[in-house]
Structure formats: structure tokens, C-alpha cells
Amino acid sequence: MLRAFFDNLRLAAGTFIAHPLRTALTLLGIVIGVATVMTMMALLEGLRLKVNKDLSQLGANVFRVDKWPQGFRFGGGDRLNWNKIAARPVLTLDDRRAILEHCPSVKRTSASSWQPGQRVRTAMTETQPGVFILGTTVEYPETSGVVVANGRYFNEQEDLDGRQLAVLGPDVADKLFPSLDPIGQEVRLRGRPFTVIGVLERRGKVLGLFNLDNVVLTPMTGFLALYGKRRTVSISVEAHDLERFEPAMEEVTRLMRQRRRLAPDEDNNFEVSTNESMAKTLNDLSQVITAATFGVCLLSLLVGGIGILNIMLVSVSERTREIGVRKALGARRSRILAQFATEAFALSLVGGLVGLAIGLGLAGLGRWALGLYTAVPIWAAVLSLVMSSGVGLVFGIYPAARAARLDPVDAMRAE
């Protein structure tokens, strides 16, 4: 049995060597399919691991209070009523202060709010209108992981005084002050002067979608004065320790319901979410993308499979005489079937392996050249190999069965 398998493998290798170009072209569909799925998986898994790590660095004791729900929900029965959510009261700095004062399990809080798509000006030049302005409290660097590379962050008193201070993302700093130390310079947001006190360390892009360096951080009070006092803030709450995490969430929820005078039968009109729930959302999202990617890959493998079907039919009709001779000399049907099925299987397995190598290479290149986070999950590599060789087997069976059914006398007469 095993001997027959190796004999068949040797025969398959012989066929590939005899027709290298034909073999390569046939493989292309499968190679592209598997390479695509491996590259996508590597990027997706890398991003997922990175974000999970970032979230866990934010601390296990931290949760957030928001007006808007986090991210997306998949497959959940309750559809969100956006009009109702939009009508919720905003969260304010007073809410934040109240949480700190009235919830004994809470160690500290921070607040943030943001305004996208802003233009930042100096007397000399200006940025594109794509800068992200973030109003923050003094705890922000500790709770978000940003690092001030040059200069300093503002302090509590400066925030409370409503000072107009700015900490620039490196992209904004480079654009506005290409040849000048930005510290102590003045930038204008909506025409108001802000003094630059710091520049952030470069963090890079997330999948090329969101640029973490194209930002300006300002004290919360100044931010609200500029962009509107009625906007909602997002409040991060840190419990004293993990033991008091759940109690802290309960205290905050009770306090917020009290402040908003909600009747016992009314739903919360605010959202309390943990990093875990954010991680879950992200993982759910990445599962959907994974499934979609495999779907696309399956389609591409199908195309590759049809290529294999075609070339195997050619191979069988070209080798009709050979098949006749083999049968005359005592090859059973199953042996001929196995020979051609092995050829199709080996063909697609080689395609899968080449695709896998290319996918891993692209992922490595992305990591090295673009600084992307990539990681290839073993299960995805195995699954795409199984899928590609399975496609070869499925599409190889019909030509192989045709070969096995040939009559030896007729087959040997073929030209």
C-alpha cells in the first residue's frame, strides 16, 4: 500500500518534471489562493494579537463609561436603536468628578473627547484638514500608552485653569516645524492660539487606516471651550485592584443611574464597557474577516481546481497508451485511479506549499519593510493546505476514474 503510494508519487514527480511550464501554470490558481489567504491571516492575526496586548497593557482594572456603545455587535438578537442612543444625555466632566468622589472602589478616572478632521495652522504653514484633536485629562499618558518624546505633558492645574496647551503628534510637528524645535511655539486650532509643550513618540499606523501620529492632544477644559461644552466625554475608570473591579463597576452604574434619575425598570442610558468587551468585539470582527477571507480563498481554489481538472484530462488523454500498457501488465483499476489521483493531489499540495511559502514571505516582508504586525496561525496554514490538496483530490477524481475505466486493448491502440 505504502509502496504503491511512493511509486505513484514518483510517477507524479516524473510528470511534473516532464512538463515544468504546464505544471507551473496549472498551479498558479492554487498558489495565488493560498498565498492570499496566508497573507491576510498573518496580517489579521498580527493585528489581533497586537491590539489584545495593547488592551491588556491598559490594565485589567480599567473600564470605560461612554454615551455610545463600543464597536460592532455580531449575531446578537438585540438590534441597537440608534435614535434612542443619540437622545441619551451626554457624559460630562461633572460625571467624572462625581464618580471619583462617590465611588469608594475607584482609584482614579480620566476623561477624553475627540474631534476629527481638523486643520492646524501656524503663522507660516498649515496641515491638511485631517488631524485628530483629542481633549484629555492628565492621566491620559498612563492609561493610553502614549509617550512624550520631547517636552512634557500638561499638569492638573493647567487643565483646570483652561490653559490652551498642545502636545503634537510627530506627523503634525514635522509638518508645522520642519526645521524648528516646536516646544514653546504657537499653533492655532480654529483660530485660537495653543502653546506647544510636547511632542509624542512615533507610534505608526494601524493597518494603514488610522494614523496614531497625526494627532494633537490638548487639556480637556481647553478642548471643551473650543469644540463645545455640550459634547460627551468618555470616562476611563480604574479600580483600586482586581478584587474591587466588579464593585467599582456596580458603584459607577448605580451612581450614574441616580444622577440621571432612572426608574428601576429603565435601561441604562450609558454604556459601561471593559477592555475585555472591546477585545471580544475585535475578536468577533476578526473571526468574520477570517471566514470571509477563507471564502474568497475557496473561490480561488475552485478556479485552481478547474485548472487541475483540465490538465488532468489532458494528461489522461495524452497517456491513454501508457494506461493501456499498465493495465495490460496487470494494473488494477484502483491502481490506475490512485496513480492519477495522487498526481492531482501532489500537484495541488505543491501549489499549496508554494502558496504558503509566498504568503509567509509576504507577511515577513510586511513586518520587515512596513513594520506591520504579522503572525501566522498554525491552524490557518494547516487548513489552507488541507483545502488546497482536497481541491486537487476532488477535481482529480473524475479524470482518474476515466483513466481507470479505459479498456486496455483500445487504450493501447490509441495514438
Partner 1 sequence: MLIELDDIAREYVVGGELVRALAGVTVHIEKGEWVAIIGQSGSGKSTLMNVIGCLDTPTRGTYRLNGHDVSRLSDDALADIRNREIGFIFQNFQLLPRETALANVELPLVYRGEKAKVRRARAIEALQKVKLDNRMLHKPTELSGGQRQRVAIARALAAEPSLLLADEPTGNLDSATGEEIVKLFEELHQQGHTIVLVTHEPKLAARCPRAVRLSDGLVVGDGPGEQVAFGGLRP
Residues that bind partner 1 (CB under 8 A): 3-4, 7, 14, 18, 321-322, 324-335, 408-409, 412
| Residue of 233, 404, 254 whose CA lies nearest to 320 | 404
User: Closest CB to partner 1 among 292 and 328?
Assistant: 328
User: Closest CB to partner 1 among 188 and 321?
Assistant: 321
**In the complex, what is the shortest distance from the CB of residue 311 to partner 1, in angstroms, rounded to a whole number?**
17
- To which H or E segment does residue 65 belong? strand 62-66
Contact 352, 385 (CB under 8 A): yes
Count the neighbouring beta carbons within 10 Å of the beta carbon of residue 162: 15
User: Closest CB to partner 1 among 6 and 82?
Assistant: 6
Residues near 272 by Cβ (< 8 Å), separated by ≥ 6?
Answer: 63, 64, 65, 249, 252, 253
**In the complex, what is the shortest distance from the CB of residue 3 to partner 1, in angstroms, rounded to a whole number?**
7
In whole angstroms, give the CA distance from residue 349 to residue 203: 40
Contact 226, 192 (CB under 8 A): yes
- In the structure grid, which three cell numbers stand for residue 292, read together? 470571509
**In the complex, what is the shortest distance from the CB of residue 331 to partner 1, in angstroms, rounded to a whole number?**
5
> What is the separation, in whole angstroms, between the first and last Cα of the chain?
32
In whole angstroms, give the CA distance from residue 355 to residue 37: 9
- In the structure grid, which three cell numbers stand for residue 2, read together? 505504502
User: Closest CB to partner 1 among 95 and 322?
Assistant: 322
User: Closest CB to partner 1 among 265 and 415?
Assistant: 415
**In the complex, what is the shortest distance from the CB of residue 409 to partner 1, in angstroms, rounded to a whole number?**
5
**In the complex, what is the shortest distance from the CB of residue 306 to partner 1, in angstroms, rounded to a whole number?**
26
User: Closest CB to partner 1 among 48 and 326?
Assistant: 326
**In the complex, what is the shortest distance from the CB of residue 209 to partner 1, in angstroms, rounded to a whole number?**
54
User: Closest CB to partner 1 among 24 and 325?
Assistant: 325
Contact 300, 33 (CB under 8 A): yes
User: Closest CB to partner 1 among 76 and 330?
Assistant: 330
User: Closest CB to partner 1 among 113 and 342?
Assistant: 342
- Helices and strands (DSSP H and E) totals, the chain: 14, 13
**In the complex, what is the shortest distance from the CB of residue 400 to partner 1, in angstroms, rounded to a whole number?**
16
| Distances, alpha carbon 269 to alpha carbons 102, 239, 246, 293, in Å | 19, 22, 19, 37
Side chain identity at residue 69, one-letter code: P
**In the complex, what is the shortest distance from the CB of residue 15 to partner 1, in angstroms, rounded to a whole number?**
8
In whole angstroms, give the CA distance from residue 360 to residue 368: 12
Secondary-structure percent of the chain, ordered helix, strand, coil, rounded to 5:
55, 15, 25
**In the complex, what is the shortest distance from the CB of residue 337 to partner 1, in angstroms, rounded to a whole number?**
11
